[in-house]
């Protein structure tokens, strides 16, 4: 296992080492000490390795991640796993705003709460938040799923495209063009798969979730509106 202590090792050097990893690298397990809220830790990794970060991280941790399994043993600042392509990012604490923003793939699991704009513009990433999410989560969400075991703040799913939203707790309000939809067997299977991947197999009743998605009135062109253009 490679151990990097950021108290005496620059972030840029750590990221450069992670970027240089080959697909068949033997350095498959990294442990990063003393993150002390620094930004851009383990950004842009593209290798099948595990990276444990021992403490709270700053902005954009594990951004643009491909393949890697990144575990943050603390809270994450803004934009954790933003633009993730694949892999698995696990925040043991809370995440600040815009967690998983514009992510294209992979799984982001947040054990605590996520602040505003969680999953904004998500494009295929799956996000499981075991606590609650703040306002404007899944704003303009295009694809992927956002699963919230707690509550959701104002205007969830505003201007949503085809992402799936599942919330177990209270939803403060739905955003424009976001509506409640029935949970079919296909959705139950998806929810089960995501909860299992997030390590929440037992004790969670799939039936306690409600599903939200697009009413498809906002992003479809209506010929009646032709005069408006």
Partner 1 sequence: MSRMVIPMSERGPDSTGFAIYGSDKPGLMKVTVRTRPEFDVSSLLSELEVITKVPIEAVSRDTHTVLMIPAGSEAAVRAYIDKIPSATVVGSGRRMEIYKEVGRPAEVVHRFNLGAMTGTHGVAHTRMATESAVTTDGAHPFTTGPDQCLVHNGSLSNHNAMRRELISHGLAFETENDSEVAAGFMTWKIRGGDTLKQAMEASLLALDGFYTFVIGTETGFGVIRDPIACKPAVMAETERWVAFGTEYRALVDLPGIDNAHVWEPVPAKAYFWERN
Residues that bind partner 1 (CB under 8 A): 36-38, 55-56, 58-59, 74-75, 77-78, 93-94, 96-97, 115-116, 134-135
CB atoms within 10 A of CB 68: 25
**DSSP 8-state assignment for residue 46:** B
- Of residues 174 and 195, the one with the C-beta less far from partner 1: 174
> Do 76 and 60 form a contact (C-beta atoms < 8 A)?
no
Q: Strand runs (DSSP E) across the chain, as ranges?
A: 2-5, 29-33, 50-54, 69-72, 88-91, 107-110, 123-129, 143-148, 164-167, 178-181, 210-214
Nearer to partner 1, 105 or 112 (CB): 112
Q: Which one, 15 or 34, has the nearer CB to partner 1?
A: 34
Using the minimum distance from each CB to partner 1, give the nearer residue, 119 or 213.
119
Residue 132 C-beta: closest distance to partner 1, Å: 10
Kindly tell me which of 47 and 116 has the beta carbon lying closer to partner 1.
Answer: 116
Are 173 and 192 a contacting pair, CB within 8 Å?
no
Count CB neighbours of 150 within 10 A.
16
Closest CB 156 distance from partner 1, rounded Å: 15
Q: Which is nearer to partner 1, 78 or 214 (CB)?
A: 78
d(CA 102, CA 96): 15
CB of 191 to partner 1, least distance (A): 27
At its nearest, how many Å lie between partner 1 and the CB of residue 142?
A: 22
Quote the tokens at residue 94: 């809370």
Rounded CA separation 112/100 (Å): 14
Q: Could you give the CA distance from residue 208 to residue 62 in angstroms, rounded to a whole number?
A: 32
Name the minimum Å distance from CB 147 to partner 1: 21
Tell me how far, at minimum, the Cβ of 151 lies from partner 1, in Å: 12
């Amino acid at each position: 296992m490679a151990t990097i202590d950021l108290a005496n090792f620059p972030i840029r050097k750590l990221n450069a080492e992670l970027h240089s990893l080959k697909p068949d690298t033997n350095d498959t397990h990294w442990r990063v000490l003393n993150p002390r809220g620094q930004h851009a830790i383990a950004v842009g990794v593209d290798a099948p390795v595990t990276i444990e970060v021992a403490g709270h991280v700053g902005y954009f941790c594990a951004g643009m991640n491909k393949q890697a399994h990144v575990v943050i043993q603390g809270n994450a600042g803004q934009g954790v796993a933003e633009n993730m392509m694949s892999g698995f990012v696990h925040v043991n604490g809370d995440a600040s705003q815009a967690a998983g923003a514009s992510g294209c793939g992979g799984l982001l699991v947040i054990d605590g709460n996520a602040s505003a704009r969680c999953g904004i513009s998500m494009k295929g990433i799956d996000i499981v938040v075991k606590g609650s999410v703040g306002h404007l989560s899944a704003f303009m969400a295009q694809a992927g799923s956002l699963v919230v075991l707690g509550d959701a703040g104002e205007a969830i799913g505003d201007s949503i495209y085809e992402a799936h939203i599942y919330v177990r707790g209270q939803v403060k309000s739905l955003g424009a063009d976001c509506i409640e939809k029935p949970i079919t067997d296909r959705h139950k299977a998806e929810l089960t798969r995501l909860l299992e991947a997030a390590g929440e197999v037992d004790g969670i009743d799939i039936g306690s979730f409600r599903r939200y998605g697009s009413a498809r009135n906002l992003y479809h062109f209506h010929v009646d509106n032709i005069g408006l253009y």
